[in-house]
């Protein structure tokens, strides 16, 4: 059935503007998998609508996330890049898996609790059910590895539990996945409040967007919050701002934050900030050029996603059929 390569699946929501955190914690590390894994990358529009979206923006952002992936080095010929709603099996398997998930399990999800507070006027059933759809995404492609940020590991654990439960009841049917957290800059922090994750929804001066001009990006780095200890060491506990800058620099220059710290021994924070700003600008410029090129030819982008959905359906369809057969749906 499957090739000998492990299979990786991950998804990015087409909501809001992606940040440096998304680039270093998601896009860049995910792209590496396309050479070593059978890789599926999905723009999860069904997930995005659990928080109210402006219709024109949702469609535009869906293409934008795909362009973002490709501009970061993802090659649609080497992996499967597609839009979740283009493959109807996601919603269908999600429904089936609902019946293998307990209310209590979803009530325990910390992201649901957080989002319920933030979107108190729209605690819809989709927001509650979101992790089950995510389980469907993962299980449809027989994914063994799911690279995600720390905030999503609880959801992947749930997918494991659902998969195990199904297999225990019906015999081996679905692959039990596990979460992997990319090490480099898995959690880029807010530049103004380095105790908080950089967030696209909170925005502000502490969030560096991938759409920021090089001058804006450099300015945000240079006005980032550090501390008054006046020493460049990698100490996330006591020097979160400096640690954040070192992590960003390390991820962009492919070394460890400790190695980066050594280089700046005895120097002032200004020197570190300048180096980080330069590395960020050098990374952003070519990426923005590629991104703008892709977004200028929507028809081509749509073609790529259409082909991706076709490839995705060829894998998702048989999984859904296997599950429905086991459950006993009358299929003829």
In the complex, least distance from residue 10 CB atom to ligand TRP, rounded to whole angstroms = 4
State the DSSP string of 233-266. Answer: ---TTT-HHHHHHHHHHHHHHTS-HHHHHHHTTT
* CB nearer to ligand TRP: pick between 38 and 152: 152
* CB nearer to ligand TRP: pick between 138 and 249: 138
Determine if 19 is a binding residue for ligand TRP (CB under 6 A): no
* CB nearer to ligand TRP: pick between 86 and 220: 86
In the complex, least distance from residue 214 CB atom to ligand TRP, rounded to whole angstroms = 27
Task: In whole angstroms, give the CA distance from residue 330 to residue 332.
Answer: 7
181: phi then psi, degrees, rounded to nearest 5: -110, 115
> Quick check: 156 and 69 in contact, CB under 8 A?
no
Which pair of structure tokens corresponds to residue 17?
A: 């503007």
- Determine the Cα angle at 13 with ends 7 and 15, to 5°: 165
Determine if 89 is a binding residue for ligand TRP (CB under 6 A): no
* DSSP code for 176: P
Residue from the set 24, 70, 127, 146 that interacts with ligand TRP by CB under 6 A:
146
In the complex, least distance from residue 131 CB atom to ligand TRP, rounded to whole angstroms = 8
230: left (phi over 0), alpha (psi -120 to 50) or beta: left
* CB nearer to ligand TRP: pick between 155 and 273: 155
> Quick check: 157 and 203 in contact, CB under 8 A?
no
> Quick check: 149 and 25 in contact, CB under 8 A?
yes
* CB nearer to ligand TRP: pick between 180 and 281: 180
Task: Choose the stretch contacting ligand TRP; rule: CB under 6 A; options: 63-71, 144-152, 235-243, 295-303.
Answer: 144-152
In the complex, least distance from residue 84 CB atom to ligand TRP, rounded to whole angstroms = 7
Structure-token match 């599950």, residue found: 323
Give the CB-side neighbour count of residue 329, counting CA atoms within 13 A: 11
Residues classed as catalytic: 115, 197, 200
Instruction: Please give the radius of gyration of the chain, using alpha carbons only, rounded to the nearest integer.
Output: 21
In the complex, least distance from residue 179 CB atom to ligand TRP, rounded to whole angstroms = 8
> Quick check: 327 and 92 in contact, CB under 8 A?
no
* Max Cα distance, the chain (Å): 74
Closest residue to ligand TRP in the complex (CB): 11
Determine if 28 is a binding residue for ligand TRP (CB under 6 A): no
In the complex, least distance from residue 74 CB atom to ligand TRP, rounded to whole angstroms = 15
> Quick check: 84 and 43 in contact, CB under 8 A?
yes
Residue from the set 34, 64, 71, 152 that interacts with ligand TRP by CB under 6 A:
152
Question: Which residues, numbered 37-76, are part of the site for ligand TRP (CB under 6 A)?
Answer: 44, 47
Which x/- pattern, by CB under 6 A, does the window 93-122 give for ligand TRP?
------------------------------
Task: Choose the stretch contacting ligand TRP; rule: CB under 6 A; options: 49-57, 102-110, 145-153, 225-233.
Answer: 145-153
- Neighbouring residues of 178: CB distance < 8 A, sequence distance ≥ 6: 144, 145, 146, 156, 160
Residue from the set 67, 97, 138, 221 that interacts with ligand TRP by CB under 6 A:
138
Residue from the set 134, 139, 158, 250 that interacts with ligand TRP by CB under 6 A:
134
Which pair of structure tokens corresponds to residue 68?
A: 């973002």
* DSSP code for 205: T
Binding interface with ligand TRP (CB under 6 A): 9-11, 13, 44, 47, 134, 137-138, 146, 148, 152
């Amino acid at each position: 059935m499957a090739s000998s390569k492990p299979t990786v699946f991950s998804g990015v929501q087409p909501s809001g503007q992606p940040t440096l955190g998304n680039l270093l914690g998601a896009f860049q590390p995910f792209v590496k998998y396309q050479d070593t894994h059978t890789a599926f990358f999905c723009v999860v529009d069904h997930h995005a609508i659990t928080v109210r979206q402006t219709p024109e923006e949702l469609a535009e952002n869906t293409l934008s996330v795909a362009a973002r992936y490709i501009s970061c080095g993802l090659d649609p010929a080497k992996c499967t890049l597609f839009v979740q709603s283009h493959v109807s099996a996601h919603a269908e398997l999600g429904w089936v898996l609902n019946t293998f998930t307990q209310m209590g399990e979803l009530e325990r999800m910390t992201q649901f609790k957080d989002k319920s507070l933030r979107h108190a006027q729209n605690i819809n059933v989709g927001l509650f059910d979101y992790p089950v759809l995510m389980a469907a995404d993962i299980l449809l492609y027989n994914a063994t590895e799911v690279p995600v940020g720390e905030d999503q590991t609880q959801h992947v654990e749930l997918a494991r539990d659902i998969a195990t439960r199904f297999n225990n009841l019906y015999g081996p049917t679905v692959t039990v996945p596990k979460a992997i957290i990319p090490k480099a800059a898995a959690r880029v922090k807010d530049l103004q409040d380095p105790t908080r994750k950089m967030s696209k929804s909170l925005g502000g001066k502490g969030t560096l967007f991938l759409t920021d001009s090089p001058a804006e990006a450099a300015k945000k780095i240079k006005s980032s919050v550090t501390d008054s200890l006046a020493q460049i060491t990698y100490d996330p506990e006591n020097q979160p701002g400096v640690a954040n800058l070192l992590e960003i620099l390390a991820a962009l220059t492919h070394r460890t934050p400790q190695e980066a710290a050594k280089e700046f021994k005895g120097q002032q924070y200004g020197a570190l900030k300048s180096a980080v700003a330069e590395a960020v600008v050098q990374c952003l410029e070519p990426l923005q050029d590629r991104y703008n090129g892709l977004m200028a030819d929507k028809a081509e982008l749509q073609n790529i996603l259409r082909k991706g959905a076709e490839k995705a359906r060829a894998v998702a369809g048989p999984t859904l059929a296997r599950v429905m057969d086991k459950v006993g749906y009358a299929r003829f």
